[in-house]
């Protein structure tokens, strides 16, 4: 069994608990998900992966970081990992639908399964599941809550450069 290193961070969307192994970041847990903490864990905020995650999140929340460069080590099925990989291709400040992700991973009829995998994403923010919205443009579920999802989308919209057309 792997040892998980963890720390708690206050953020603009509430308290987050970060977890990692030596391989990479494994979890970003919102306040309402703390029961999902891995069994064997050690509080160690100075762990290099956690320290870098904290720095990158601070940069993200200040609007100076649009992507993350941290080793990620989520645990999940091959299908979940395919969905989570696809989520990482959604550009900062943009959104897409569950159907878009299903098509991207060549599983166009698996929209509900994509939604379930999106909801199981253990690395919110780093794997930007908040950028997935309903086909009709409405905000849909988010592990931290819809208020937190809106905060993240508004933050990204505020810091997205304008483009000429």
Give me the pLDDT at residue 164, please. Answer: 56
Q: What is the pLDDT of residues 69-90, one digit of tens each?
A: 999 999 999 999 999 999 999 9
d(CA 91, CA 71): 19
Q: Which domain holds residue 22?
A: 4-62
Q: What is the pLDDT of residues 10-66, one digit of tens each?
A: 999 999 999 999 999 999 988 766 666 667 788 888 999 999 999 999 999 999 999
**For the domain that residue 36 is a member of, what is the CATH number?**
3.30.160
* Catalytically annotated residues: 129
The answer as to whether 18 is a domain residue is yes
Long-range contacts at 112-120 (CB < 8 A, ≥ 24 apart):
113/79, 114/83, 115/140, 115/141, 117/76, 117/79, 117/80, 117/83, 117/84, 118/83, 118/87, 119/143, 120/76, 120/80
The answer as to whether 37 is a domain residue is yes
Give me the pLDDT at residue 133, please. Answer: 87
> Which backbone phi and psi does 111 adopt, to 5 degrees?
-60, -45
The answer as to whether 69 is a domain residue is no
The answer as to whether 148 is a domain residue is yes
d(CA 135, CA 50): 35
C-alpha distances out from residue 54 to 48, 61, 64, 120, 147, Å? 10, 11, 14, 22, 22
Helix (H, G, I), strand (E, B) or coil at 133: strand
Q: Do 50 and 107 belong to one domain?
A: no
Q: Do 108 and 41 belong to one domain?
A: no
Query: Taking the complete model, does pTM exceed 0.85, yes or no?
Result: yes
The answer to whether the beta carbons of residues 149 and 155 sit under 8 Å apart is no
d(CA 63, CA 161): 11
């Amino acid at each position: 069994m792997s040892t998980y290193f963890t720390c708690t961070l206050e953020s603009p969307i509430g308290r987050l608990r970060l977890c990692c192994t030596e391989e990479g970041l494994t979890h970003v847990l919102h306040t309402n998900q703390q029961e999902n903490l891995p069994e064997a864990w050690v509080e160690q905020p100075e762990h290099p992966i956690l320290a870098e995650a904290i720095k990158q999140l601070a940069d993200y929340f200040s609007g100076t970081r649009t992507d993350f460069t941290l080793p990620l080590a989520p645990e999940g099925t091959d299908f979940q990992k395919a969905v989570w990989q696809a989520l990482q291709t959604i550009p900062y400040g943009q959104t897409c639908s569950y159907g878009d992700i299903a098509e991207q991973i060549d599983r166009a009829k698996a929209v509900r399964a994509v939604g379930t995998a999106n909801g199981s994403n253990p690395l919110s923010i780093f794997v930007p599941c908040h950028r997935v919205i309903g086909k009709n443009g409405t905000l849909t579920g988010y592990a931290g809550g819809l208020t937190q999802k809106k905060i993240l989308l508004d933050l990204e919209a505020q810091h997205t450069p304008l483009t000429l057309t």
